[in-house]
Amino acid sequence: MLVPKGRQVDPENINHSSSALQLLLFVDERPSSQEQIQRIKTYLQELQTNYPFEFQTIEVGAQPDLVEHFRLIATPSLVKIYPEPRQTLTGSDLIGQLQQCWSRWQEDAERHRVNLTKPESPVDRGISYALDRIRLDDEIFKLKKENEDLQAQLQFKDQVLVLLAHDLRSPLTAASIALETLEMLQNRDPSEWPPNLVEHLCKQARAQLRTMNRMISEILQAARDKSSQLRLACYPVQLKPLCEEILAGFERQIEGKSLGLLSDIPQDLPMVYADAELIRQVLVNLLENAVKYTQEGGRISLSILHRTSGKVQVSVEDTGPGIPEEKRDRIFEGHFRLKRDEGREGYGLGLALCRKVVRAHHGQIWVDSVLGQGSCFNFTLPVYRG
């Protein structure tokens, strides 16, 4: 029986009383798989002549929620949903796998049928009650934990809104001043304009607008579900000019703390296939952290290495306080902050967003650090193959 798109199957409310054995066959509409699907259906129908059982055919496009519920990774897939334990068969040799499992499935079904008809003793009832109580306690514990998590998220979002309103003022004010200055220049003779002033003001306004966009993007990403996927607009990207533009935007901060800056970006670096704006956010986040945590007179560096034929590695290093070894994985989690950062501005979202962006590009991100000496954040991007 094929379940049409108009009819939905609820995995939690499937009737198990009509048959001792129930199967779900998940299929897709690809023409290339139709012949294999028909062979599986025919084989299942042959099995039904000797041992009655129930199976339903489900089109994956009609019920993606079921695909997620049973955690299917390929089609066709055959799922034994009753009796428990649940079992999933998939792959090109699905019929061969079914032949190996069939005798055991029949035995499980018959054993379960006998257990259903056997009178329940007081001992069995006691055990059943104890198991039900354990399951209920587990559900209560889960609900309490979910409630605590929701309360923490609501409190966090309230704090973030206050911080965002505060932090947006600085770049908004700087961008407004740049635009107002440009408006004032319109009333003056162009020959009286200071050299390169218009270019500098436009550059300043663009930089501040990018800062605001990045801050808002962090908040929006934090508000979404953890499993949501980023939408990438990938195309061939030259990292060298992108990095040089970003570093130019940090000149004032670097000079303000008398930091040394080392840039090591090869001229023959291959292009990467990436979303340039998202990669810009990653680099800005990492460089902002490097500047923030490096003491006056310290040093930061940005380097890129063509590591393998398929990957480019970008590294941002600082001479800051370093990160404890036990915290080096957790700093990439959303909302996690080191104890030393609790009094600092920011949301604890930057590195979590960096990891999400890099993983969406099929890359990796990690940190090497020595306490008291500094940290080096590294991430990889795929080389463009035109």
Question: Stretch 336-350: mean pLDDT, rounded?
Answer: 47
Residue 80 has pLDDT above 60, yes or no: yes
3-state secondary structure the chain: CEECCCCCCCHHHCCCCCCCCEEEEEECCCHHHHHHHHHHHHHHHHHHHHCCCEEEEEECCCCHHHHHHCCCCCCCEEEEEECCCCEEEECCCHHHHHHHHHHHHHHHHHHHHHHHHCCCCHHHHHHHHHHHHHHHHHHHHHHHHHHHHHHHHHHHHHHHHHHHHHHCHHHHHHHHHHHHHHHHHCCCCHHHCCCCHHHHHHHHHHHHHHHHHHHHHHHHHHHCCCCCCCCCCCEEECHHHHHHHHHHHCHHHHHHCCCEEEEECCCCCCCEEECHHHHHHHHHHHHHHHHHHCCCCCEEEEEEECCCCCEEEEEEEECCCCCCHHHCCHHHCCCCCCHHHCCCCCCCCHHHHHHHHHHHCCCCEEEEEECCCEEEEEEEEEECCC
**pLDDT digit string, tens, across residues 2-32:** 444 444 555 555 544 456 788 989 998 888 8
**Residue 213: pLDDT band with limits 50, 70, 90:** confident
Quote the mean pLDDT of the chain.
79
**pLDDT digit string, tens, across residues 170-183:** 677 777 877 888 78
pTM of the model: 0.48
Domains and CATH numbers, the chain: 2-117 (3.40.30.10), 141-223 (1.10.287.130), 235-382 (3.30.565.10)
**pLDDT digit string, tens, across residues 154-163:** 766 665 565 5
